[in-house]
Amino acid sequence: MKVLLTGAGGQLGRCFQDRFPAQWQLIATTHQQLDITDQAAVTAFIKQHKPDVVLNAAAYTAVDKAESVPEIAEKINKFGPYYLALACRESAARFFHISTDYVFDGTQNRPYKESDNTNPLGIYGATKLAGEKLTLEINPNATIIRTAWVFSEYGNNFVKTMLRLAKERDELKIVNDQIGCPTYAGDIASAVISLIQADANSGIYHYCGNEVMSWYDFAMQIINTASVKEILSKKPTIIGISTLEYPTPVTRPPYSVLDCAKIQTYPVTFSSLQDVLNNILII
C-alpha cells in the first residue's frame, strides 16, 4: 500500500505519520514539497509516484484570517482538493480528504448527520464545503471525513493556547455557550488508517471525539491536568463567558456535535480526553 500524504507538517499530517503502518509505504509531503494549489505539480507528482491512496491533510485553517484573504482560502480549501481528486481519478488512486463541522451553522440541537443541511457561517466553512462538493463531483469514489475541535501535541491549537495563556495571566475568560467535541488528531489519523485498510465506501463521514462539552469545560480540563502534572506553577481562575462577550470576525457554530454512527460501521476508536491530555501534556 503506497500512500501519499499532503499537508504533512500540520497537526493531522504529523499524527498520521506517527501512526502509519510499518508495512505500508508513505510519501509525506509538506506545503514546501507539494503545494496542492499547483495543479500541474499535483498531477505530475501523482502520475510519477502512483500512490494507491492519497490523504489530503492540507488546508487553510485560520478561520478568522480567511475573511480577509478569501481568495487564498478558496485556492487551498476548494481547488486544492479538487486538483487532488481529479489526479486521483486519472491515476485510479483512492482519495481521502478532511473537512469540518464549520460547514454547518450550529443551530441544530441534535448531533449533525452527514445528510443534514449545510450552511457555513464564514469563508473558511464555505471554502471547505465547496472543496467537498467539487471533490465528490469530479471523483465520486472519494471519501471525506468531517471533523471538529482538533487538538494534538503539534502545531497551534486550543490546548497549546490555554497553556500559554495560563502561564501569562491570572484569569482566563472562556466561552461557555459553544458546544462541541474535542477531537485528538491522533484519533483522526487512526480512523483514516482504519478506513484505508477497509477500503471504505466513498462519501462523507463524520468523526469527532465522543465527549460533549463547552470550550470552558475543555479549558478547565486542560488547566486542571496541567496543574496536577505540575506543568503550571500557578493555576489561573477560569471564568465562563458568553459568545457575545467574545466577538470574533466569524461567528462560530453554537452547537458543533457530529453524529459519528456512520463511520462506526468501520473499526474506529475514540480515546478518552483525559487519557490524551495526560499523554500529551508534558513539560
Ligand X SMILES: NC(=O)c1ccc[n+]([C@@H]2O[C@H](COP(=O)([O-])OP(=O)(O)OC[C@H]3O[C@@H](n4cnc5c(N)ncnc54)[C@H](OP(=O)(O)O)[C@@H]3O)[C@@H](O)[C@H]2O)c1
Minimum distance, C-beta of residue 233 to ligand X, in the bound complex (Å): 28
CB 276 within 8 A of CB 166: no
Q: Would you say 148 or 200 has its CB closer to ligand X?
A: 148
* Binds ligand X (CB under 6 A): choice among 91, 100, 221, 225: 100
Q: Which is nearer to ligand X, 35 or 176 (CB)?
A: 35
Per rule CB under 6 A, count of chain residues that contact ligand X: 28
DSSP 113-158: PTTSPP--SSHHHHHHHHHHHHHHHH-TT-EEEEE-SEE-SSSS-H
Which of 148, 226, 257, 276 is the binder for ligand X (CB under 6 A)? 148
N-terminal to C-terminal alpha carbon distance within the chain: 37
Q: What is the per-residue binding string for ligand X in 154-193, x denoting contact by CB under 6 A?
A: -x-----------------------------x--------
Rule CB under 6 A: say whether 70 interacts with ligand X. no
Which residues, at least 6 apart from 265, have a Cβ–Cβ distance to it below 8 Å?
none
- Measured CA to CA in angstroms, residue 234 lies from 5, 153, 157, 175, 256 at distances of 40, 22, 21, 22, 32
Min separation Cβ 77 and ligand X, Å: 7
- DSSP label at 75? I
76 counts as binding ligand X under rule CB under 6 A: yes
> What cell was used for 197?
485498510
- Cα torsion for 220, 225, 226, 227, to the nearest 10°? 90
Does 253 participate in binding ligand X (rule CB under 6 A)?
no
List the one residue from 31, 65, 113, 160 that touches ligand X (CB under 6 A).
31
Instruction: Tell me whether residue 227 or residue 259 sits nearer to ligand X (CB atom).
Output: 259
What are the residue numbers of the active site? 124
Instruction: Supply the DSSP symbol for 111.
Output: P
Question: Which residues of this protein are in contact with ligand X, per CB under 6 A?
Answer: 6-7, 9-13, 31, 35-37, 57-61, 76, 80, 98, 100-101, 128, 147-150, 155, 185
